[in-house]
Amino acid sequence: MKKWNRIAGCCLWLFIAASGIQAAEKTVEGAGMAAGNTAAAHDEAVNKALRNAVERAVGVMVTSESLVKNFQLVEDQIYSKVEGYVKSYEIIEENVGADNITRVKVSAVVEETKLEEDLAAIKLILKAKGNPRTMVTIRETVDGTESNTLSSSVEQFFSSKSFPIVDMDQMEKIKARDAADAETDPQKAKALGNRFGAELIISGNAQAQLSSQTTAYNVPVYAFSGTLAFKAIDANSGAVLSILNETETGRGGNPAQASQQAFTKAWEKGRDAFFGTLMEKWRSSVLNTTDMILVVSKCSAEKRTELKDKLSSVEGIKDCIEKTFNNGVCEFALEVDGAVAGSLDEKIVESIPDLSLTVKTGDRLDFEFKADSN
């Protein structure tokens, strides 16, 4: 294999914008590369090319050193937080060289305006996150009586943004107690999501209470105060991604009308910020670093002592913290380069061939040690 050595120096890109003025979209080129010639290597190279395009468009300082040693690409990138996002892109050049490195060049349209307003860009982020299925578990009450006026609106909102929604037939199987537990405990929401095949849980409470009742021209007028307390929870890790807390007043000729108006006003008041925070977390995880959960089972005490050191040397893992070790099962919290997250399982197996992949979801990988390795 041809030995290739390249050191990219420090480049400073300046971006200046007047206060309060949104930057126009820019079409820029970006380049990326990854070791190997597999589909995963191709995807990794594309992700790096897209990040490079955003870096060039919005202006960040990037220091990178890329070397090929012993037939393996070693890439250490130090980069500041990348702002902006890709609206669309096309691959204009790609090849696998004699050194078994996949190289890709893209032409990308980059924008800095609000991501949550751009459906095409949202779809790209969702694709990069594995098109996470979404489950809405909202417990609604009107003066203490169970209701169901808001959940469908929340589901329709996320569906309109191209989020896959968990099948409603499955939702009907959820016990009221399960949904109530998910409201207050992210870990129980995590278990609920795993049970019904969801990666994102929208969980919370919607409570409406009568605040006044008057009469106008002999017509009764009801006023209800509606309070929403929602969380967006990563079902793989249990992490809270976004929080909504809003209260609004609704009025109508009957309690149902007034309470529904209160819920609707509170949801419409807070939904954009709620959704925007969620998307910003995911956008940043794709372009910068992302948190992942790694679970390794059938792990002996001897193997455990070596495992963390080996994981820390895997390309793309920036930080590795052991969370638990119980009955031969290790759980690690990883900070991972977002551009390589999709192919991290292959990189781990390449570095630690004793491991076998058992489960892969958007932000979680499960491995087990092979029977003859312990």
pLDDT at 110: 87
pLDDT at 22: 43
Structural tokens at position 134: 């979404």
Spatial separation of the C-alpha atoms in residues 152 and 16, rounded to whole Å: 43
pTM given for the model: 0.72
Spatial separation of the C-alpha atoms in residues 191 and 181, rounded to whole Å: 10
Domains annotated for the chain, with CATH where assigned, are: 5-113 (no CATH), 134-286 (3.30.160.20), 289-373 (3.30.70.100)
CA-based radius of gyration for the chain: 24
Spatial separation of the C-alpha atoms in residues 184 and 318, rounded to whole Å: 32
Vertex 359 angle, CA 358 and 360, to 5°: 135
Q: Name the one residue in this structure whose structure tokens are 């609604």.
A: 140
Structural tokens at position 23: 């930057």
Nearest to 191 by CA among 252, 141, 240, 237: 237
pLDDT at 11: 26
In sequence order, what are the beta bridge partners of 367?
296, 357
Structural tokens at position 361: 């979801």
Cβ within 8 Å of residue 151, ≥6 positions away: 136, 138, 140
Structural tokens at position 197: 């095949």
CB atoms inside a 10 Å sphere around CB 169? 7
* 374 residues of the chain, pLDDT tens digit each: 333 233 222 221 212 222 233 446 889 899 999 988 888 889 889 988 988 888 888 765 343 444 444 444 544 444 445 667 888 899 999 998 778 899 999 999 988 767 777 888 888 888 888 888 898 888 899 998 888 889 889 999 999 999 999 865 555 555 445 655 555 566 666 666 666 778 898 988 999 999 999 987 778 899 999 999 999 998 887 889 999 999 999 999 999 999 999 999 999 999 999 999 999 889 888 888 888 999 999 998 888 888 988 998 898 898 999 999 999 999 999 999 888 888 899 999 999 999 999 988 878 899 999 877 65
